[in-house]
Structure 1
Amino acid sequence: MTPKTNLEKQAAMMKPEGATPLPKAIHSLSPESCGDVPSKKPPRVRYRTDLRHRDSKKLLTRMFSDSPGSLQGEDQGDEPTFDLVTTYYTAVQAPQPDLGLQANVLLESPTYQLNIYSPAIIHALRSIVEYYPAQDLTAEVLEIQWPYSILAHHYDELSAYRDGHKDKSPETVCRRKRNTVEDLALLLEFLDENIMKEVRAEQERNRRGAYTWEHAWVMHRPGATMLVKSREETDFAIRVVRSIERGPHAWTLRSWSLDYDGIHLGRTETVSTVPRFGGEGGMGKIFFIDENAEEDEIKSLDEELQHHLEEGKKFWNLMHKQCQYYKGESAQFPFNEMDGLVMSDLKTYYEQEPDKAPDLLGHDDLRNWTSNCDCLACRNQHSDLRVKDGVMFDEYQKLTIEVNSRLTPHQYLVCPRVIKAYVFRTRRWEPLHIRHFRKPQWNQDLMNSLVMDEGKKTTLKALSKSYARLNKRDERLEQDLWSADFVKGKGAGLVFLLHGRPGVGKTCTAAVRLIVFCMWIGFLRALESYDGILFLTTNRVGSFDDAFISRVHIQIYYPDFDDDQRKQVWKTFMDKLSKERGSTMRLNIDAKEYIASKPVAELKWNGREIRNAFQTAVALAEYDNEKDEEGRVLITDSHFKAVTELSRDFKNYLHELKKGDESKRAERRMERLDTYGTLVKGK
């Protein structure tokens, strides 16, 4: 073995940890060794060594050689196929030839870089590389930093590209590609001798689910689709690798996925780190998925991808404003358990919280090189530089539900698995898991069970259906809703005001197929521009301003129940129990007789009080657990008597304390007049 020169010893001693040893010399290849392709000059590697100042980066000394073990000053040969540039840094302020590259003046480990001059290699890279944001491929001389990741990641494509040009005649090949076979053979041999052995060993580790920190870049090829979960995330996320950059203690990994900013669905970047570790570590899953891959092809790769596809479709659908049912944990600490209706409305959320809208990527990282060659071969070969039409990932920009009816399977795959939604129970926007969203199940019979005047009930149904553009036969009305207001955008909504004493059915009316939540309306104009159906319920109508009342379309008064209506309410709850728990519990005859008795009627309970009493009696019966001959829990009159006695005592106490019942107290405060219905009937 040839002894190392002083330069080789110094470089080997000072190379960065995990770096490739000083490259082995690659001899020039003759044209005959790569096929009978004419070439004006044989390809060669030139070795260049630079000495620069540590702070200013000013060049102090530059030397050339045709092998890594010798220095010969100025280069006298033809332009090389590519340079291997080794750069050292020093604190010396000016060139001092007598010092040369002595170790005592070198302060840092050297850096390595390939400068590619060969038009054939540059053309080949521009032809096969579709997405590599960290590497500039537009320059006349390509500068590729160690560990030459773009070349290692495209080694197989470069090899196939070279093989595809071996049998082509010079007349049919672009002038820039006439040295393709020889120049690529030289480059591939250089890669084989210097980095591919370690790359292939790392790829073998990747195939068994492991990787090393030193070679983490190998599995993170830009454009690859990866399945990962960070410490901050509770779900696996799918992202596309953008770039990976090595630091002294960690790799910085940049990736992107799709997200919605309130206007467009587009690509948004995530930056994560891979801290240094020793030995081997377990890796996430990496897939090389074509952006135009079919759904079945993606599903066949991994079971987890099937879930992501379905959730991506759900996310796309949830970009439409809609009410959903959610049952499960929230996606953010403290991971509250949610069970109820939510509203998906990202547009409104980002209008309220513009600072929280994601920043979408532009086109800067997408392929932007084109052919500017006007030779006959290129003119005869359409889009000579493109492997396929279009720019990779260009169709992932500025997607909208108005223009794009659906996404591609890969686009669904990289959609978020968490979405912000408004939770009506907490009245807050919460991050929620896509997988827990369901279509709400509405109680279509709720209106029929509502105890109120049939005429008012018919009017409510008619107005609500008409606003939804349905006639009484549930047929779709073609024309838009007519507005009597001359100002466009005003008077397009339908506002109901339901007023009366507590527990007479106001909230129940609004909850038929609507979301009920409390709110303060601070601006009267908000009512005029509201374009939906709005139910306002109150038991203090006397507190309303006249200007507010004038903006309400329909006012409906709910009088107190009479005895027959209270019996109907009791029957409603008995029917509900029979329907939902008839196989496990029942009311005996004594309970039914007690419910219809005079002592219960004298309580003058409202609907809410009847509901609470019924629910409490059921709970007491379950505790006693007395069963009939069929094994069903018996609800008896004793369970109801226990509730009514407690209620009667408490009401009497309040009446004495406040000098009147609830209706009289409300009348004194001028909040409402519960005797209104009686007074009207008396006339």
Structure 2
Amino acid sequence: MAPAIEEINVTYIGILIGSEATENHLTNGDTVEKKNESAPEETNTTYHGIPILNDGAEDHIMNGDSVEKNESVHDEDAKTEKSDHELRDKAPDRKYNHNHEPYFEERDSAEVETPKQKDDWWRLYSFCLVRFCPSNPNKSPTTSLYVNAQTIRQLLVDVIGKYPGNPIDVDDACIHAPYHPLFYYRRELEAEGLKRLERGEDGESLEQLNLLLGWIKSHFEAEIAALNKCIANELKAISYDNLWTLFPPNVIVHCKILDQHRAFRLKEGFYDTQDENPGFVTRVLFVDFDGESLGTRRLELSISKFTGTRELKDLSVVPLALREKTTEIRKELFDRGKQFESYIGQHYLQYNAIALKVEPNGYSRISVNGRVMIDCKTYHRCVADDAFTVTTNNPQNRRAARKGVPKTKFSDEKKEYKKLSDDDFLLTNATVRGFCFAEQAFLEFFVDDLYPIEWNSSCFDNLVLDPSTKKTIQALATTHAEVRDSFDDIVQGKGRGLVCVLHGPPGVGKTLTAECVAEYVKRPLYMVSSGIRIGILFLTTNRVATFDEAFKSHIHIPLRYTNLSLDSRTQIWRNFCKMVPGGVDIDEKGLAKLAELDLNGRQIKNAIKAAESLATFDKVKLDLDQLLQVTKIQAVFEKDLTRRSEIDYTALGGTKKDTDHGHMFL
């Protein structure tokens, strides 16, 4: 079975580069016939341009003419001999054998002597337009411009570089149709090229540059005119076919999402003809924070296909520089970006606006009026299906982003994040993620609607409470909120919490007290309920006789503890007092007096901890009087617990049973 034919039409535009040979100049439209016997796959090659060989006479042939060349190239040291030229309007076929080696064959019946040249003969020309015709009839032909002139290659690399989908390589510069990189960077190529070559002695490279610039202007004549007309006219409008001219790579584009001004950096733009709703698609980047790192995220924005022309103000996506009121929009985006940067990490803020909640089919809107905690890291841990990972310059983070794996790093150190640039401020997300205490839900909040909390510093003044009790609460809350080395437990890190029991009849200020403490220490107040905890569970109780049979069957091993003796209590007091930073002003007589109190180990530890907070608050050294003051408060509580009758809440220490209870955490 005969192999399929791959046809390649090669059009040469430019200057043939060689050595020790005759110079022959061909202008655009000329053809050169070449012939070589060999095998199957077909390629059509047309030469257009100015072939030049160094050190020889010059022959100029005008557009439309064709020339036959009969030359022999044996090796690198052999000289090219000039042959007679005959004007013909023909082109040879360039074919490939099974090893993908090129050869040439005459396309018509006329007999022409063709030169034998090296396989890479086409590299002698500055520019080559190559048309690839696939053997599959369902595939459309493609065309590429190959740049062989080294000086122009380097210019393209320096000016265009890694163009999305068509990166320019200095060793093999190839630009695929429709040659958009040349359109977008035509001004930069001209400015930089003339800057490099006009003052030098490389006249050949300057001629190559002018040839390329002329071809660009000729090829994109209609598009350049349409774009200039769109920008220059007061009524800015453009057709759908010329829409691509507005979107060079890396341009900052603007659109509105959820009624918020947004700016993005364009990665690439293209016409999507495969979708049911065809349109022009822009792939863009914006700046976001994933709880671990600052980086970029990707998004696709599209403009639906339209007929005729459309004003830029009516397009959903447009370069920011072409928007009306560009200056005002840039300032708004910049200010929001600065605010976004300040909300990186955990922040307790006020929010009075619409928030977004993730749902199976998108987002729902929730009206929020209250305090929220901005915390993207916890949001992603608790709402894992809505988590994202940004792309950063860190290779490890880039791999994680490609795999969609959230990065996890455990550290007690406060992390410092990179500073955003002025352009980055424009590109930040319009929302941040966190938790709403009023809704008890993780939501997204608009940056523009977040404000610092106005704390009520006089809340304790309005709280009707016994002065001694109020002072104790203030001292405990203040010292616990401070980050400092203080009295802890025998096991380091244990007992870091602060648990308070507020008992009494309804409406006497229990919840208000918790709210005042939250205001006083500037922490969020979060109400929770008790529930099942999975893991190793230790149950401690002094009412084992109340366990029913079903409950007892769930216990793997029971361990019995006895009450503390007087000596044991004395030693515990002594041990805990030694652990207090700065020591305790107490002697053995004072320890003996404290040991007479019928307290268990936990009560002793809590008494010392509370007394130490009082001493710190009063800026004095802990002594026996402060310890006795705290144990007196504890004694009232213990007395209330042991009463069989109802507690008298009209007296100091409290008329009815307290049935109002709950759990609140700061």
TM-score under structure 1 normalisation? 0.56
Q: Could you say which residue in structure 1 is the equivalent of 2:497?
A: 493
TM-superposed deviation, 1:203: 4.4
Alpha carbons of structure 1 residues 307 and 121: separation in structure 2 relative to 1, 3 Å? same
RMSD across aligned positions (CA):
4.5
Whole-angstrom CA distance in 2 between matches of 1:673 and 1:360:
60
SS at match of 1:151: helix
Q: Of the two structures, which has the highest relative contact order with CA contacts closer than 8 Å and spacing of 6 or more?
A: 1
SS at match of 1:236: strand
Residue 510 (structure 2) pairs with residue 506 (structure 1): yes
Whole-angstrom CA distance in 2 between matches of 1:672 and 1:416:
61
TM-superposed deviation, 1:224: 0.8
Q: Could you say which residue in structure 2 is the equivalent of 1:73?
A: 93
Q: Could you say which residue in structure 1 is the equivalent of 2:45?
A: 64
Cα contact 1:242–1:254 (8 A) shared by 2: yes
SS at match of 1:323: strand
Q: Tell me which moved more, 218-227 or 248-257.
A: 248-257
How do residues 221-370 of structure 1 correspond to structure 2 at under 5 angstroms? 221-229=248-256, 233-248=258-273, 249-281=278-310, 282=312, 283=315, 284-287=317-320, 301-331=326-356, 334-361=364-391
Cα contact 1:419–1:433 (8 A) shared by 2: yes
- Aligned residue identity for 2:171: E
Q: Could you say which residue in structure 1 is the equivalent of 2:631?
A: none
Cα contact 2:270–2:280 (8 A) shared by 1: yes
Alpha carbons of structure 1 residues 64 and 520: separation in structure 2 relative to 1, 3 Å? same
Alpha carbons of structure 1 residues 83 and 24: separation in structure 2 relative to 1, 3 Å? closer
Cα contact 1:227–1:238 (8 A) shared by 2: yes
Which of 504, 515, 539 is the equivalent residue of 2:524? 515
TM-superposed deviation, 1:420: 1.7
Residue 422 (structure 2) pairs with residue 409 (structure 1): yes
Whole-angstrom CA distance in 2 between matches of 1:501 and 1:237:
54
SS at match of 2:260: coil
Whole-angstrom CA distance in 1 between matches of 2:530 and 2:288:
32
SS at match of 1:61: coil
Whole-angstrom CA distance in 2 between matches of 1:220 and 1:520:
55
| Unpaired runs of at least 5, structure 1 | 1-21, 32-38, 49-58, 92-105, 171-176, 290-297, 366-397, 470-478, 529-546, 556-666
TM-superposed deviation, 1:303: 0.3
Q: Could you say which residue in structure 2 is the equivalent of 1:111?
A: 142
Which of 83, 91, 98 is the equivalent residue of 2:128? 83
TM-superposed deviation, 1:446: 1.4
Cα contact 1:322–1:345 (8 A) shared by 2: yes
| Unpaired runs of at least 5, structure 2 | 1-8, 32-39, 49-63, 65-88, 95-103, 105-116, 358-362, 396-407, 538-560, 562-600, 609-639, 656-666
Which of 459, 463, 481 is the equivalent residue of 1:450? 463
TM-superposed deviation, 1:524: 7.5
Alpha-carbon displacement from aligned partner over 1:475-520 (angstroms, at most 9, x marks no partner)? xxxx724251354443333333323222211211121214333213
Q: Could you say which residue in structure 2 is the equivalent of 1:123?
A: 154
Cα contact 2:13–2:125 (8 A) shared by 1: no
TM-superposed deviation, 1:405: 6.7
Which of 187, 192, 195 is the equivalent residue of 2:220? 195
SS at match of 1:499: coil
- Aligned residue identity for 1:456: T
Cα contact 1:258–1:265 (8 A) shared by 2: yes
Cα contact 1:162–1:184 (8 A) shared by 2: yes
Structure with the greater alpha carbon radius of gyration: 2
Alpha carbons of structure 1 residues 213 and 481: separation in structure 2 relative to 1, 3 Å? farther
Cα contact 2:10–2:45 (8 A) shared by 1: no
SS at match of 1:336: strand
- Aligned residue identity for 1:63: N
SS at match of 1:326: strand
SS at match of 1:461: helix
Whole-angstrom CA distance in 2 between matches of 1:113 and 1:484:
74
- Aligned residue identity for 1:256: L
Alpha carbons of structure 1 residues 147 and 467: separation in structure 2 relative to 1, 3 Å? same
Cα contact 2:260–2:430 (8 A) shared by 1: yes
TM-superposed deviation, 1:73: 2.1
TM-superposed deviation, 1:413: 1.3
Alpha carbons of structure 1 residues 41 and 467: separation in structure 2 relative to 1, 3 Å? farther
Alpha carbons of structure 1 residues 341 and 44: separation in structure 2 relative to 1, 3 Å? farther
Whole-angstrom CA distance in 1 between matches of 2:209 and 2:305:
34
Identity, % of aligned pairs? 20
